Amino acid sequence: MTPVWKKTPKPTELIDRVTQAFRLAFGYEPTAVYSAPGRVNLLGEHIDYSGGTVLPFALPQRTYLAVTPRQDRLLRAVTAQGDAGASASSSPREIELGAIAPGAVEGWLAYVAGVPWAMAQEGLVSRDELPGADIAIDSSVPLGAGLSSSAALECSTALAFDAFAAANTGREPLSASDTGRTQLAIACIRAENEIAGANTGGMDQSISLRAHQGSVLAIDCRDFSTRPLTVDVDRAGFALLVMDTRAHHNLSDGQYAKRRAACDFTADTLGLTTLRDYFESTPTLAEAHQLVARWEEQVTAGMVDLPPQTDLPTARAALRHALTEIARVEECLALFSTAETTEQTWAQLGDLLNASHDSLRDDYRVSCDELDLAVNAARAAGALGARMTGGGFGGSAIALVSQELVPTVAEAVASAYERAGFNHPEFLLASPAASAAQDR
């Protein structure tokens, strides 16, 4: 079967499109356009909220906001996409800034409205510094594909309201420094957790606001310190193939929150801030398995409790994923700590991707039939490694593939989907792109 490749409009086309959408919705010209990228996570899944280090990079696909501040505190917004799986509305949705609170706004508007609310809650701005706004949204980040379309929307919104506050006070925008962008990312995390109702760990917002062009960004989620990591796939003759299963995922449906709550509970019963703190030094796979065995002994002896409504095998498997995934990231960091890479380096990266997916599938149980089929078909067709990326329960998988095999692997995955009767998958090639910025 012929693979379907996602078509990404040029940035200039999207800027023109979102400007036109603003003009049609509100009857006048926007004062600025901001954009923020989606992301792919190379390795380190479901460990950001456990204090692990994660290895995401920003995608060229971005969400664009055309915006103008208002003289009142009314927020009006219109989107070309709507919620994933739903049609966009041609008429703006609106809410007063003072009415924004947990439970007060639903759907895609929550990811917009939550940002100024969270910026005020975090003390980044005062109530008087934030005006209302008219906003139009368009995006090339696929919705529901596990590529962080929600964080891209939040982070582009954060740049806009940061600029409003800076203009009103004469201060430098927070977005002018990495420290300020870190603060904006924390506000976006809070917006997603408390207003949108998705209790995510912070990786997505951090990479969208703090990405380095051309680099994977290693983010230590204990303190959100970062360092760029050179993983030059293209130069080595490889490609990162993104396979959108078109099985829509939704992180606000409760499954994600249940797993995070179990990890948080386990860390708390061990007297730890995060599960990363369970390791005595640099995490290794050997120590990860030792720690799981130690924890099980403590549970059996009645020294620590199981997470609520969780049996021992399920809790043990979840802990094993968290600890071994933290250790796998450390192995990856060591692989790319030197300037030169060899064939063995890339083979080991492929092994790490495979082990990550197997753990997410078998221990953490966040995969699905579509993700597993994409991963298995890619591996069988010659990929060095493949795994789901993002929150899971649908979304996308990635495969490390030699450049000459990309068409073969994509065709193999598409054919496997056709035989299984699944929705046709869609493909794109991923390369590290720039962070959120003003475009006009």
Annotated catalytic residue 16: no
Q: Read off the tokens for 327.
A: 């250790």
CB-based contact 133:161 (threshold 8 Å): yes
Q: Which residues of 297-326 are buried (b: 16+ CB within 10 A; e: fewer)?
A: eebeeeebebbeebeeeebbbbbbbbbbbb
At residue 9, the 3 state secondary structure works out as coil
| CA–CA–CA angle 240, 242, 243 (5° rounding) | 140
Q: Distance between CA 37 and CA 390 in Å, rounded?
A: 15
Q: Read off the tokens for 37.
A: 């990228």
Q: Distance between CA 21 and CA 80 in Å, rounded?
A: 8
Q: Read off the tokens for 234.
A: 């293209």
CB-based contact 394:424 (threshold 8 Å): no
At residue 80, the 3 state secondary structure works out as coil
CA-to-CA separations, 43 to 124, 242, 342, in angstroms, rounded: 31, 14, 19
Considering 204, 244, 363, 439, which one is annotated as catalytic? 204
Dihedral angle sign, alpha carbons of residues 368, 370, 373, 378? negative
Residues catalogued as catalytic: 204
